[in-house]
Structure 1
């Protein structure tokens, strides 16, 4: 989760390499190939690297401790922070690839705790079956113009528009059997916000173009859209989401991540939040403005 861990691993690898260099140098010195001065320089490098490694290890341990304290604080204050913030709002969840049940559960809990409801889940099948997609699109007059490899980004934008509106949905209707791996909930009611996750591996070619259009289209939609992932995600999609204009939250399975997600879905300032290296805007956004009370 923390960049310091990768720094420690890198230092450890360099440290091992330098130690091997010292052993090699000592062996060669017996034949007169390495001078005492060179040996001293190598030893000084090892000593400096050891000190840097130990310092990085200490900082990483401190960061882990602070993260644990933050999550404990967030769990304690979470109900009061988010209660009612999504009252009555309909949230959709889109998975690129198969549904991640753990992530879906974390999103459902976050939304429910804030008074909202996940009313739709769709999992998109990737990579795209080009031939089947074009055949399905050309079968209907309304979607014929979206067929062809050169139109994949346009197709993704069309899918994004249909995701957040109440219908009609001619593109999804044409492509459900080809593109939708799994879906649940109502697909005929407008959404108030969308959560996107990519459990699948990074895609290329036509599928990459379609997803670029999908993400960009959701970012341009008049409702909040947030790209998320769990703390143990093996391949991160956050940089791709951010590049296409989506807000992002890492570690959405943590209390702090759930608070950040609710704030963003409720209209907080867009950005990249969390505790990982992609969280350029901090751990949490500022709370969104409270709804203005009306009097009769």
Structure 2
């Protein structure tokens, strides 16, 4: 808000200065009007300087807050995802830095990261949906069944989720032989890329939303297709969180679409993951989702609060008897 007011006052001051120059150049208008314009111009300059100082001070406070949270994050999240494994899925247009920083926070919480899957723009291309649907049916593992009324996007999401996550801790870390060709098949067709070992089934998942809300005519269809994946990951795994920035919680954003779709209690969302506090919240949201308490957190519309309440407790560390 300070930043906006600072720029607005600056623009007004520029136009007043131009007006003052024009008036000074017109000898017929010299006098009280010129004095009034000079007084107004000086007042705006003083206001502008005050707002600039406030803006700089707010920036310093925000930097300080981030430094404190980053320094304390390890202790704050320690043990909250102990013995869990997490797979990351990036939507087309997601922020790689957000994913990397969130993954670092997840690691500090004690979780193993199985791998990273990055969806390509081709995944949402309307002209490629028939090909994607055919590929989904062709690669479908024998043990997977689709709901009779599932859309093409939901079938693809279910297939990917079935490969990436599991509710059974004993199966986590192991790749299902029947699903061995799913990820390579989608990768070869140009629909996604991956690194690590994402097919070794994690128990939890984090989906990184696109960095900018879409104003494209296909925004609704794209968000429905993307939204099907965290829903499927939550169904086949122990919990899923969609992480993004404030823009992702506005019209055209994935988080806004999920919240409007009323998936509360099914998929957790965090719209501040571009900040250390938001990434800390993402870890807490994932721990809460594992306990069946998925909510919406951040600063956008329809949030349940800044973070889960009560805050999930760390997994107890078992000690051996002497």
Change (3 A) 1:44 1:247: same
Following superposition, the deviation at residue 163 of structure 1 comes to: 4.4
Preserved contact between residue 132 and residue 178 of structure 1 (Cα < 8 Å): no
Alpha-carbon distance in 1 for matches of 2:137, 2:95: 35
SS at match of 2:121: coil
Cα distance change of structure 1 residues 103 and 247 upon mapping to structure 2, 3 Å threshold? closer
1:65 deviates by 2.0
Verify the 8 A CA contact 2:117 2:194 in the aligned structure 1: yes
Query: Using the alignment, how far apart are the partners of 1:140 and 1:124 within structure 2?
Result: 15
* Secondary structure in 2 matching 1:78: helix
Hey, what does 1:133 align to over in structure 2?
A: 129
Q: Which runs of 5 or more residues in structure 2 are unaligned?
A: 140-149, 165-177, 260-268
Asked if 2 retains the 8 angstrom alpha-carbon contact of 1:157 and 1:218, the reply is no
Q: Distance in 2 between matches of 1:248 and 1:157?
A: 24
Stretch deviating more after TM superposition (76-85 or 48-57): 48-57
What SS is found at the alignment partner of 1:251? coil
Distance in 1 between residues matched to 2:10 and 2:95, nearest whole Å: 34
- Aligned CA-pair RMSD: 4.1
Aligned counterpart in structure 1 of residue 9 of structure 2, from 11, 26, 29 = 11
SS in 2 for 1:15: helix
String of CA shifts for 1:14-61, please: whole Å, max 9, x gaps.
22122112112222x31x2x4644434433432342233222212212
Quick one: structure 1 residues 112 and 138, their matched pair in 2 at CA, closer, same or farther if it must change by over 3 Å?
Answer: closer
Greater shift in the superposed pair: 160-169 or 78-87: 160-169
Deviation at 1:140, TM superposition (A): 6.6
Q: Does 2:78 align with 1:83?
A: yes
Q: Match for residue 147 of structure 2?
A: none
How far has the Cα of 1:129 moved from its partner?
3.9
Counterpart CA distance in 2 for 1:242 and 1:71 is 23
1:116 and 2:132 correspond: no
Query: Which of residues 247, 266, 271 in structure 2 aligns to 1:248?
Result: 271
Partner of 2:284: 263
Deviation at 1:81, TM superposition (A): 0.7
In structure 1, distance between residues paired with 2:279 and 2:136: 41
Q: Is this contact kept in 2: 1:154–1:213, CA < 8 A? A: no
Within the candidate set 64, 73, 95, 2:90 is matched to 95
Find the counterpart in structure 2 of residue 42 from structure 1.
Answer: 37
TM-score (norm. length: structure 1): 0.71
Superposition pairs for residues 1-296 of structure 1, below 5 Å?
3-27=1-25, 29-30=26-27, 32=28, 34=29, 36-97=31-92, 101-126=96-121, 128-138=124-134, 154-166=151-163, 175-178=186-189, 180-184=191-195, 185-187=197-199, 189=201, 191-198=203-210, 202=214, 204-206=216-218, 209-215=221-227, 218=230, 221=234, 223-228=239-244, 236-239=247-250, 240-244=253-257, 245=259, 246-252=269-275, 254=276, 256-267=277-288, 270-273=295-298, 288-290=311-313
- For 1:9 and 1:224, the matched residues in 2 are separated by 40
Residue 17 to residue 97, structure 1, CA distance change in 2 (3 Å): same
Task: Work out whether residues 227 and 238 of structure 1, in 8 Å CA contact, stay in contact via their aligned partners in 2.
Answer: no
Size of the aligned set, in residue pairs, is: 272
Q: State the shift of 1:278 in Å.
A: 9.0
Partner residue, 1:232: none
Structure 1 segments unaligned to the other structure (5+ residues): 144-152, 230-234
